[in-house]
């Protein structure tokens, strides 16, 4: 992260009516000054005599100087991507922002004020004007009220604060950027590197150990949510105190993120992840045919005497799976046990009339058979194709007996041979992820392999 320490001289106190007569920029990389820039500027208006008395800059000095328009491109390149730092920052920022706006460019950098930083770094002073604070800290000002003289003094002051009390600088940055939620030992620069993409992320502590693994459609927003929400406040505070770094893997799709997260939790056993445990009570999806010849479904607890089509960790998971099948295959909610009255009563237009026998059983059962076939195929050896991370790449996942056993990201025109994929440990939970999402895939995304 680099900082552009700026000072300007102007014709007056208002950005709307005043003009810039001189500007200086000192670039600091967090360790030392790495670049300097200074120029007089023709403000396009007369400089009042009292301003000349204060700064020493008169009309003759700026008559042949470049206008702001003429140095705007060079100045923009110098300021862009850097934190804007100044003593009473809003004064300097206001003039420069207004000058860029007149050229049709919106200037909105992150800002830091050395007045505010000094109040935290050196509390109890009677004045925090640049002259007084530099006098207190024995910082020389070689040319007071000239842009480079003041900018250099501000740069020395900033250098001293960031080296002696860096937490003051970075906590102020977080607050000013609306990012005060960040953990105290997690840098703003690192947060800004986090992608807004789908994938798996790893929270790391000061010892370099992974303490939490998660998955997200938007990694940056999900990371932010860990520390800015009100859910599980005790866990939030523990994580906030320990996390110092974040790593991530992009996955290209939510399904891949779920699979990779499951594998990584079992591989790493992070301290803040709840253990993946199978519940003692399982729920099942059961299938039968009623007296009128219509195939029906029911969700119920699994017992020794009842063998379900599928098992689930909870009734909610089972119902969600069934509802997805109902939507995909246009089945009747009443015949699936989710409704007591006919679909006509609630004006459910997705039902084609099976619950009031206006759709023939053979027609309805054909769609049920498609659903049943997909459930049975999910238990065979199969490969699925998912979106890749970029371009023409695809993710290929091979499941043996419903459990993920291999996967790779490849660029190819057809399904690869399973042996071309990388072997991963079999984790039972991947079976439930496959079962949850398989009915949402198109048929050309699935290839079933013969079992031996």
Tens of pLDDT along 339-348?
Answer: 999 998 888 8
Q: The domain 3-173: what is its CATH number?
A: 3.30.420.10
Q: How far apart are CA 26 and CA 410, in angstroms?
A: 48
Catalytic pick from 145, 226, 234, 360? 145
Which pTM value belongs to this model? 0.55
Determine the Cα–Cα distance for residues 56 and 168; give it in Å rounded to an integer: 35
Work out the percent of the chain whose per-residue pLDDT is above 70: 95
Question: What is the CATH topology of the domain spanning 188-268?
Answer: GIY-YIG endonuclease (3.40.1440)
Question: Could you confirm whether 145 is annotated as catalytic?
Answer: yes
User: How many C-beta neighbours within 10 Å does residue 145 have?
Assistant: 18
Distance CA 130, CA 135 (A): 8
Q: Which residue has the higher pLDDT, 308 or 304?
A: 308
Domain boundaries, the chain: 3-173, 188-268, 283-370, 382-448
3-state SS class at 169:
helix
Q: How high is the pLDDT of residue 233?
A: 62
What rounded mean pLDDT belongs to the chain?
89
In contact, 265 and 200? CB cutoff 8 Å: no
Residue 228 has pLDDT above 80, yes or no: no
Q: How big, in percent rounded to 5, are the helix, strand and coil portions of the chain?
A: 40, 20, 40
* DSSP state string for 217-271: SSHHHHHHHHHHS-SSHHHHHHHHHH--EEEEEE-SSHHHHHHHHHHHHHHH--T
Residue whose entry in the numeric block shows the structure tokens 């950005």: 15
Tens digit of pLDDT for each residue in 4-22? 999 999 998 788 788 999 9
Q: Per-residue pLDDT for 402 more than 90?
A: no
Q: Give the pLDDT confidence score for residue 275 in this predicted structure.
A: 55
Closest-CA residue to 133 (of 232, 143, 120, 146): 120
Task: Provide the edge-to-edge strand list for the sheet that holds 394-400.
Answer: 422-423, 403-410, 394-400, 382-387, 446-448
- Asked if 149 contacts 143 with a C-beta cutoff of 8 angstroms, the reply is yes
Is residue 452 very low, low, confident or very high in pLDDT (cuts 50, 70, 90)?
A: very low
Q: Are 297 and 283 in contact (CB under 8 A)?
A: no
CA distances for 46 relative to 54, 56, 61, 70, angstroms: 15, 14, 11, 19
| Tokens standing for residue 26 | 């000192």
Whether the per-residue pLDDT at 422 is higher than 90: the answer is yes
Contact between 382 and 407 under an 8 Å Cβ cutoff? The reply is no
Average pLDDT value for residue range 192-215: 94
pLDDT at 230 over 60: no
- Residues 157-190: pLDDT tens digits? 999 999 998 888 888 887 776 666 788 788 888 8
At 72 the pLDDT is 94
Average pLDDT over residues 397-414: 92
Q: Which residue has the tokens 């002696």?
A: 164
| C-alpha distance from residue 255 to each of 15, 232, 250, 258, 325 (Å) | 53, 25, 12, 5, 17
- Tell me the DSSP string of 1-43: --EEEEEEEESSS-TTT--EEEEEEEEE-SSSEEEEEEEE-B-
- Residue 23 and residue 5 in contact, taking contact as beta carbons nearer than 8 Å: no
Three-state DSSP at 313 gives: coil
Query: What angle do helix axes 429-437 and 315-329 make, rounded to 10 degrees?
Result: 30
Half-sphere exposure of 89 (CA within 13 A, CB side): 20
Number of other CB atoms surrounding residue 260 within 10 Å: 21
Look-up of token digits 């500007």: 23
């Amino acid at each position: 992260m680099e900082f552009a320490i700026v000072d300007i001289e102007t014709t007056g106190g208002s950005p709307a009516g005043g003009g810039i007569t001189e500007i200086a920029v000192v670039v600091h990389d967090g360790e030392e000054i790495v670049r300097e820039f200074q120029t007089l500027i023709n403000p396009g208006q007369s400089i009042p005599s009292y301003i000349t008395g204060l700064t020493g800059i008169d009309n003759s000095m700026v008559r042949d100087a470049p206008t702001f328009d003429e140095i705007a491109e060079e100045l923009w390149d110098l300021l862009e991507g850097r934190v804007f730092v100044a003593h009473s920052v809003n004064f300097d920022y206001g003039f420069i922002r207004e000058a860029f706006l007149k050229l049709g460019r919106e200037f909105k950098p992150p800002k830091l004020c050395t007045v505010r930083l000094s109040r935290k770094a050196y509390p109890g002073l009677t004045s925090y004007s640049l002259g007084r604070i530099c006098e207190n800290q024995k910082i020389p000002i070689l040319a007071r009220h000239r842009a480079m003289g003041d900018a250099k003094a501000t740069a020395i002051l900033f250098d001293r604060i960031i080296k002696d009390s860096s937490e003051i600088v970075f906590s102020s940055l977080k607050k000013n950027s609306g990012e005060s939620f960040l953990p105290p030992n997690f840098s703003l620069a690192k947060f800004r590197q986090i992608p807004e993409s789908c994938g798996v992320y790893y929270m790391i502590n000061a010892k370099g150990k992974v303490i939490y693994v998660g998955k997200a459609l938007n990694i940056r927003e999900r990371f932010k949510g860990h520390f800015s929400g009100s859910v599980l406040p005790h866990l939030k505070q523990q994580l906030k105190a320990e996390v110092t770094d974040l790593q991530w893997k992009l996955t290209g799709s939510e399904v891949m993120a779920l699979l990779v997260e499951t594998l990584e939790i079992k591989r790493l056993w992070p301290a803040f992840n709840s253990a993946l445990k199978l519940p003692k009570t399982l729920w099942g999806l059961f299938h039968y045919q009623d007296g009128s010849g219509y195939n029906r479904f029911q969700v119920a607890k699994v017992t020794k005497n009842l063998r379900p089509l599928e098992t689930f960790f909870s009734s909610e998971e089972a119902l969600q799976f069934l509802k997805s099948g109902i939507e995909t295959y246009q089945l009747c909610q009443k015949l699936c046990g989710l409704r007591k009255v006919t679909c006509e009563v609630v004006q459910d237009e997705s039902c084609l009339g099976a619950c009031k026998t206006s759709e023939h059983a053979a027609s309805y059962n054909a769609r049920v058979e498609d659903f049943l076939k997909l459930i049975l195929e999910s238990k065979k050896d199969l490969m699925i194709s998912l979106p890749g991370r970029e371009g023409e790449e695809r993710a290929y996942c091979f499941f043996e007996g419903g459990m993920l056993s291999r996967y790779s990201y490849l660029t190819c025109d057809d399904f690869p041979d399973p042996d071309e994929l990388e072997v991963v440990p079999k984790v039972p939970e991947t079976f439930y992820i496959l079962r949850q999402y398989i009915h949402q895939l198109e048929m050309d995304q699935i290839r079933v392999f013969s079992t031996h």
